[in-house]
Copies of this chain bind each other. A is one copy, B any other.
Amino acid sequence: MEGSSEVNIPPLPSACLDRAGTSSRKVEGKHGTYTGRDIVPMWIAGMDFEAPQPVIEAVVERAKHGIYGYTDAPSGLSDLAVDRLQTIYQSAEPPQRSWLHWIPGLIGGLHYAVRATCDDQAERVAVLTPIYPPFLGSVRSNGATLVQVPLREGGATDSSRQIRFVIDWVLLERELAHPRTRLLHFCNPHNPAGRCWSVEELERVCRMCVANDVSICSDEVWGEMPLSRVAPFTSLLSFLPHTLDGQPAGVEGLRERLMVLISPSKCFNVASLDLALAVVPDDTLRRKYRASGADSAEVTPFGYVAAQAAYGHPDSEAWRQRLISYLQANRDFAFETLTSARGVRATCPEASYLMWIEVPDLGVPAVEFFEQHGVGLTGAVDFGGAANCCRLNFACSRATLKLALDRMLRAMAPSSTL
């Protein structure tokens, strides 16, 4: 634990939905799954906070234009993206504009990577589980063979009640060495494990993939929301071969095999604007990747202008810093509150606003149990996880979070006092 729930609550990054109070402000959509029922929605990976003001202004401005035909990336956006790949993602090779391929969202991006690397059903894709379900779906629905490589617990933690996931190197090596394995479908920072993989872990992953001629698709969408000073985010782009003090550095062979996916979607709460960026340094691999996404929707003009405002405006960056502070405090509050209950363990995520929770056997899957008690979480089974686990989204006001946690504790009280 790096913080404490005792500190004052930081200021909200921006206006926020008030689920705990009497606000009548509503957002339609998937958050509305529980409309008309007294269930606090803490599941889907969107935030209750308004986007940064420059993003809203840009989107409203484009909306007022009135012509909503096909559109291309605005001039200047690619340069902003290249800048970001150098700063936040620390690309070890100067990113070229030619590397960039704008796509309408992350999920399609995962599918295209499978299609770009696998030709038939015998070809295998390795995935570290539990993982965000579209990773699994992208393998299954494109006719490749899915191989789950379960994460294991390990490493030092501040509390026996903290879950910390690490890679099972023996299992991963065995799978990557399989002659038909073509792709490691990788999530960094990892959803739902909440790990910012360390430099050592990442370098080992890269070397293992290269040694076995396996490509890597690295979904780094959560890299914009690091929550830990001791476990910073590191992009796989930083392992591209380069020269350091006259010596070769990075991982030789990674360039030809690397696809990195980024997006402002999660950090700036613009997931529905359908914009992500595939960064593929190698020409041949990028051509295959592009061809694999021929069915994709248009990137919307709103996605483009939102990305421009998110990446390019200093107020958006200030907003992101406030967001990170707010989420750090919410994370610590949620972790301490939940793990005060008997038998409850949880991750203390190093990035993202998603906490993985393990509860004692409650008779029914955890997600059903809490839903019956007024809290809507995400079940673990679709992630390749166990039924006594679930995922909590803490990107909401403290009041909403407290309401949900109170209900969860109260619901578990009988079993925790047994």
Contacts and interface: CB of A to CB of B under 8 A. Distances in A.
A107 interface: yes
A297 interface: yes
A238 B67 CA distance: 32
Nearest to A107: B295
A152 to B, nearest CB: 29
Nearest to A114: B295
Interface string A289-327: 001101111101110001000000000000000000000
A138 B104 contact: no
B69 A295 contact: no
B272 A301 contact: yes
Contacts of A70: 29-31, 44-46, 271-272
Nearest to A112: B295
Nearest to A103: B297
A49 interface: yes
Most buried by B among A30, A59, A62, A292: A59
A193 interface: no
B63 A298 contact: no
Nearest to A60: B63
| Copies of this chain in its oligomeric complex | 2
Nearest to A305: B28
B68 A294 contact: no
Interface string A243-285: 0000000000000000000000000011111100000000000
B66 A56 contact: yes
A295 B302 CA distance: 21
A388 B31 CA distance: 53
Given A60-B63, A104-B274, A269-B67, A141 B294 contact: yes
A49 B75 CA distance: 23
A137 to B, nearest CB: 5
Interface string A211-255: 000000000000000000000000000000000000000000000
Contacts of A67: 17, 27, 46-51, 269
Given A51-B66, A60-B60, A63-B63, 15 more contacts: A17-B67, A28-B74, A28-B75, A28-B301, A29-B72, A50-B67, A56-B63, A68-B269, A68-B270, A68-B306, A107-B297, A108-B295, A111-B294, A112-B295, A274-B297
Interface of A: 14-15, 17, 27-32, 44-51, 56, 59-60, 62-72, 74-75, 104-105, 107-108, 110-112, 134, 137-138, 141-142, 269-274, 291-292, 294-298, 300-302, 306
